[in-house]
Structure 1
Amino acid sequence: MHVIFRESHGLEETDTPQDLGQSPADLVVLSFSDSDLGAFAAGWHQDKAHLPSLRLANLTALKHPLSVDTYIEQTLIGARGILIRLIGGMPYWSYGLQQVRALALEKGIALAVLSADGRIDPQLDEISTLPISTLRRLSMLCETGGAPAARAALAQLALASGLYARPDLVSKSLPQVGAWTHQSGIVCPTAFNLENRDKPLVILSFYLSYLRAADLAPIEAISRELEQYGYNTLGLYAPSLKEPQAAAWLTRQIKYLKPAAIINATAFSGKGSTGTSPLDVANVPVFQMALATSTRSAWRDGERGLSPADLAMHVVLPEVDGRIFSGVASFKQAGVKDRELEFSRFAHQPDYERIKALARRVKAHIDLQVKPIKEKKPALILSTYPGKPWQMAHAVGLDAMASAKSILKDLAEDGYYIQTCDDLPTELRKAKLEWPVNAYEKALRLLPEGLQKALKDIWGNPHDDPLVSGGVFEFSALEQGNAILALQPERGWNNDRDNDYHDTTRTPRHSYVAFYLWLRHEFTADALIHIGAHGTLEWLPGKSVALSDECWPEALIGELPVIYPF
């Protein structure tokens, strides 16, 4: 059969015909889960001398009927045993199940169709050709997870198929919850209590399934990067943050360990029936690290940044818990093709530039915890929209100037070094802080070359910027002790601001870029408090979420903690 293929690009996968090009083998395992397939690959390699030949495939590549027909004709036709793990039951691969069952009955193939959600499914039992006792044994081994259990499942399937395999009666199961380090694997968490460590601790929470599938590359990468900054790191894994026993264990460990911060790599909300999440017990920043299910190229080329599913799992629902979204850390990528299995495992491949950005962001928040309060330098930023002097700091439904005054008062009462004036609006209109253009040009060279080029092509020489006078930028900014209150410069031209202000493709002009670089490199702000409308993260060119270093908000804000009251 000749299949005509077409490529599909984007963050949503469409069901296009695929030819996996696999030759026949004695055993075949099919699953929607890359973790499953990774465990079976590792298990087979552990004892391949005593196991039949094997093929592995992800069912997402076999969703089109033409793909199913091609795979049956080229690969399954020579199988003696087939194991299929399904999430969601028959409707999720109905055509494939019909055709594979017909083949199994015709050829006498041992067929095991198992539920992947831990429940017994009578419909799947009926489709299978093996005894119920064998199906339950295979289900138990698959639920146990990990390479040893997968190896035992392959041996069981081989014997059920009339093939030789060395009996594998022992499968070491991983604890449902536990602690982990990249140096030692599973460890005892008590070794990391306050009395036994001399560095701040960052906890990394992740799924048990990642450990079972040996799919921990992004967790290892962020752990190593944080250690470069002088932190201890400890992974805590569980099947789910919501499972009652796992949640109780996590709560006890986090409360006992007293971390400086938590990075979470599980998806969705972590709040259980009690309305609380185990990650909240330490009362420290909890950062959400997205392990994207899309490829890096889809993220790189897409304006949205994450697929709708990833957006829901890693951004929207975690924000319900109050987590701080810290960006994408990895993408699902195919590894080097295994020639013996004719299979390329899709696993979480870390993006090391994003890992470094995430670590810097975590460090900035931890630094806020330990820096003496009188030395902290907050920057309060007000919008100039809609550009009229009498509407300075305008925000619908919010008195931004009164809010700024109240925030400064609260900071002073908490021990910050704040010196306030009585008439903030008048003083702010008159106040100017200067920054030499040559200092700006030096800082600008730290930005990606593509952004520098866009800025120069559109806005020309920085000396021609309206806020430059005598070789210096003049920002509307007022020092209030260690705090600063400033008006955000215009992104474009005043006479075309109605069009410019909500144009997310508009490259900001030099004075806008200079202002944020000045905040970071000259004023050295510890945190940015943007009061009211039109925050820097909202309207600048770049992805909607999961930013790259080529996105203007990321380039200007960097790792600076941002608080956005509105």
Structure 2
Amino acid sequence: MHLLVRENRTLDEQDQAEDLGLPPADLVVLSFTESDLLGLSHAYNQRVTENPLVQTPSLQLTHLARLRHPMSIDLYIDTTLQQARCVVVRLLGGLDYWRYGAEELAGWCRANKVPLALLPGECAQTLKTSPNQQADDPRLAELSSVEPEKRKRLIEFFRQGGPRNMACALHLMGTMAGLEIDDGAQPEPVPAWGVYRTFAAQLGPHKGAQPGRASNPLTPQSIDAAGGSPPQTCGAAYVPCSAVLPKGLTTRAVLLFYRAHLLVSDHTALEVFAQSLAAHGCAVDMVFVTSLKEVEVAKGVAAYLAQVQPDCVLNGTVFSSKNQQGYSPLVQSGVPVFQLLQPGSTQALWQQSARGLTRADLAMQTVLPELDGSISTFPLSFRQQATPGHPAARVPYAPGIALTVARIMGWLRLRCLTSAQRKIGLVVSDYPGAGLAQESGHVAHAVGLDTFASLCSIQHILQNDGYKTGTLLPRAALVAALAKSPCQPFLSLAEYQQLATRLEPAFMASVQAAWGPPEHDKMVQNGQFCHRVVVQEHLTIAVQPDRGQAADRKALYHDPDSPPATLMWRFTSGYSMCKN
């Protein structure tokens, strides 16, 4: 089973006492894993929402990572536990990870006749893959004061996880507190993989879409959508014409995400994302998995993809999707695979960092998936800024969702077009070179490679595949056009003004402050931006524009604090949107 990255805690991370100041409650639950706390929090909120007129026992959830110091534990017992009717502690790692707290809690509960359940923290998947792992810790059982049968059921409710089991665990704790009647509910296992829910495309049917389709019969078990978080809207977002599907067509995607997120009901951002894709004409099947490296899971996912034949795969798992033999059910699907990005930090920390992603996120969610051939996307969610001692759920990031939807829909639009309808742009580098004139660089330079020969080969490949490439230029003609010929007009000032209205005002202000008004740009001639561009019907070949001014090429080329020059951003964003 995949455990959420933020779960494991140790005792030596903090050595200062603190008073969490958490209010007392009928039911008090403490755990080292946010999975437990998030799952119970969702179950409690769901119960209150569905039964507003029914008296529900109050609940206090606390992360044991904030209760490592003995004085912190004493303060917690003296304040938060004073009205407790039942206390549950789930210890990942066993008694030795929190011995002082467990023994003090047991003494207080005995003295005050409060039921106490100390539970081992290992999940069902860990026990399955580690035969030597004990299912229970007799020392924890000895310190507990609840009935053994109820404690055993509570252990399994937590081990299996999921909305239904967490709701049952909450009710069982209420019966231990003497506030509710035991209904005898038993734990139910959650399969290693399955279809969670389907979002139907909101446009007309297309050969690859089955709007409103029920869960696939290959799936071992389907999870009721009612158990998940209600999707939210991510707000209206501009989607370029290159990301709009042809009229009357829809597409289909399969979104893979970790079962661990389903078990704790921490997948709201993915539902928001899937709902947004569906609104743009892409049906989405959300499929949960423990790990793509498990043999049976990989086989099941491969069979599912082969049957539904999606237009793309959206991968919400991390690391490489390949096993030790190099096999990946995603790569074998033969469709584009997009790597979904969910950083482990808060949005504030992400924005403050010059790098953005942490090393772990870069490695697990960007580098390794790219080695598999996956296409990178943008952040869909961030961790919530939580109160000390409380679990931190993920919250959707609307701008990242909008950008990711636009990128995916652009690729899906291409899949709906024939080769003759597609328009291709090839951009070659113009890197600053030592000893060269300041106004030029190494056009199409690659050490040990012949870029212009590659361009010629690409032209022939595209033409043979049915693309409209016009008259193919030989190598010498391409060199002359891209390195020696005068610049050609490619974007008018009027088209630029139209593009500028779709971008952030702050960004446009920074560009103008750094490089002046567009009409004063040295590359503007007769109201047109000019550049070294070759247009052959639906094939465009161009040289990368300067990121800054030619006189400061080396100093500004990789300066992250300088906004891109006027021509640079107009070319990269404007040409594709207005011309192609």
Does the 8 A contact of 1:52 with 1:163 survive in 2?
no
The answer as to 2:580 corresponding to 1:513 is no
Aligned counterpart, 1:266? 317
Q: 1:371 aligns with which of 411, 417, 424?
A: 417
| TM superposition shift of 1:455 | 0.7
Aligned counterpart, 1:233? 284
Q: How does 1:365-444 map to 2 (within 5 A)?
A: 365-387=411-433, 388=436, 391-418=442-469, 419-422=471-474, 423=476, 424-428=478-482, 429-430=484-485, 432-434=487-489, 435-444=491-500
Does the 8 A contact of 1:43 with 1:149 survive in 2?
no
**Equivalences, count:** 498
Distance of aligned partners of 1:322 and 1:61 in 2 relative to their CA distance in 1, 3 Å threshold: farther
Instruction: Report the Cα distance in structure 1 between the residues aligned to 2:462 and 2:19, rounded to whole angstroms.
Output: 63
Aligned counterpart, 2:252? 201
| TM superposition shift of 1:115 | 2.0
| TM superposition shift of 1:421 | 1.5
For each residue in 1:170-227, what CA deviation from the matched residue of structure 2 results, as whole angstroms up to 9, or x when unmatched? 24636413223366999422599xxxx9842111112223333333322221222112
Q: Secondary structure at the match of 1:188?
A: coil
Does the 8 A contact of 1:146 with 1:173 survive in 2?
no
User: What is the TM-score with the length of structure 2 in the denominator?
Assistant: 0.76
Aligned counterpart, 2:103? 101
| TM superposition shift of 1:39 | 2.6
Instruction: Report the Cα distance in structure 1 between the residues aligned to 2:357 and 2:91, rounded to whole angstroms.
Output: 25
For each residue in 1:16-54, what CA deviation from the matched residue of structure 2 results, as whole angstroms up to 9, or x when unmatched? 866432233343212344442233234456499687543
Does the 8 A contact of 2:94 with 2:121 survive in 1?
yes
Distance of aligned partners of 1:151 and 1:372 in 2 relative to their CA distance in 1, 3 Å threshold: closer
Instruction: Report the Cα distance in structure 1 between the residues aligned to 2:576 and 2:317, rounded to whole angstroms.
Output: 32
Does the 8 A contact of 1:201 with 1:231 survive in 2?
yes
For each residue in 1:501-543, what CA deviation from the matched residue of structure 2 results, as whole angstroms up to 9, or x when unmatched? 222222222121222233223322xxxxxxxxxxxxxxxxxxx
Q: 1:333 aligns with which of 384, 387, 404?
A: 384
Gaps of 5+ in 1: 1-13, 525-566
Instruction: Report the Cα distance in structure 2 between the residues aligned to 1:23 and 1:235, rounded to whole angstroms.
Output: 38
Does the 8 A contact of 1:115 with 1:121 survive in 2?
no
| TM superposition shift of 1:347 | 2.2
Q: How does 1:349-364 map to 2 (within 5 A)?
A: 349-364=395-410
Instruction: Report the Cα distance in structure 2 between the residues aligned to 1:306 and 1:88, rounded to whole angstroms.
Output: 30
Q: 2:216 aligns with which of 177, 189, 195?
A: 189
The answer as to 2:89 corresponding to 1:84 is yes
Distance of aligned partners of 1:246 and 1:102 in 2 relative to their CA distance in 1, 3 Å threshold: same
Instruction: Report the Cα distance in structure 1 between the residues aligned to 2:276 and 2:283, rounded to whole angstroms.
Output: 11
| TM superposition shift of 1:147 | 3.6
Aligned counterpart, 1:302? 353
Q: 1:115 aligns with which of 121, 143, 147?
A: 121
Does the 8 A contact of 2:95 with 2:139 survive in 1?
no
Aligned counterpart, 1:457? 513
Aligned counterpart, 2:80? 75
| Alignment-mate amino acid for residue 105 of structure 2 | L
Distance of aligned partners of 1:464 and 1:53 in 2 relative to their CA distance in 1, 3 Å threshold: closer
Aligned counterpart, 1:28? 28
The answer as to 2:451 corresponding to 1:446 is no
Distance of aligned partners of 1:239 and 1:478 in 2 relative to their CA distance in 1, 3 Å threshold: same
Does the 8 A contact of 2:290 with 2:297 survive in 1?
yes
Does the 8 A contact of 2:153 with 2:187 survive in 1?
no
| TM superposition shift of 1:364 | 0.7
The answer as to 2:321 corresponding to 1:278 is no
| TM superposition shift of 1:98 | 2.3
Q: 1:143 aligns with which of 159, 162, 169?
A: 159
Distance of aligned partners of 1:18 and 1:415 in 2 relative to their CA distance in 1, 3 Å threshold: farther
Aligned counterpart, 1:126? 139
Farther-moved stretch of structure 1 (497-506 vs 356-365): 497-506
Does the 8 A contact of 1:104 with 1:111 survive in 2?
no
| TM superposition shift of 1:398 | 3.1
Instruction: Report the Cα distance in structure 1 between the residues aligned to 2:68 and 2:336, rounded to whole angstroms.
Output: 41
Farther-moved stretch of structure 1 (375-384 vs 317-326): 317-326
Q: Secondary structure at the match of 2:349?
A: helix
| TM superposition shift of 1:473 | 1.7
Does the 8 A contact of 1:462 with 1:510 survive in 2?
yes
* Percent identical residues: 29
Q: Secondary structure at the match of 2:460?
A: helix
| TM superposition shift of 1:431 | 5.0
The answer as to 2:184 corresponding to 1:169 is yes
Distance of aligned partners of 1:276 and 1:86 in 2 relative to their CA distance in 1, 3 Å threshold: farther
| TM superposition shift of 1:112 | 1.0
Instruction: Report the Cα distance in structure 1 between the residues aligned to 2:318 and 2:91, rounded to whole angstroms.
Output: 20
Instruction: Report the Cα distance in structure 2 between the residues aligned to 1:396 and 1:61, rounded to whole angstroms.
Output: 54
Instruction: Report the Cα distance in structure 1 between the residues aligned to 2:383 and 2:31, rounded to whole angstroms.
Output: 16
Two-structure CA RMSD over aligned residues (Å):
3.4
| Alignment-mate amino acid for residue 25 of structure 1 | A
Instruction: Report the Cα distance in structure 2 between the residues aligned to 1:64 and 1:187, rounded to whole angstroms.
Output: 51
Instruction: Report the Cα distance in structure 2 between the residues aligned to 1:251 and 1:121, rounded to whole angstroms.
Output: 34
Q: How does 1:527-538 map to 2 (within 5 A)?
A: none
Distance of aligned partners of 1:492 and 1:198 in 2 relative to their CA distance in 1, 3 Å threshold: closer
Aligned counterpart, 2:269? 218
Instruction: Report the Cα distance in structure 2 between the residues aligned to 1:65 and 1:379, rounded to whole angstroms.
Output: 64
Aligned counterpart, 1:314? 365
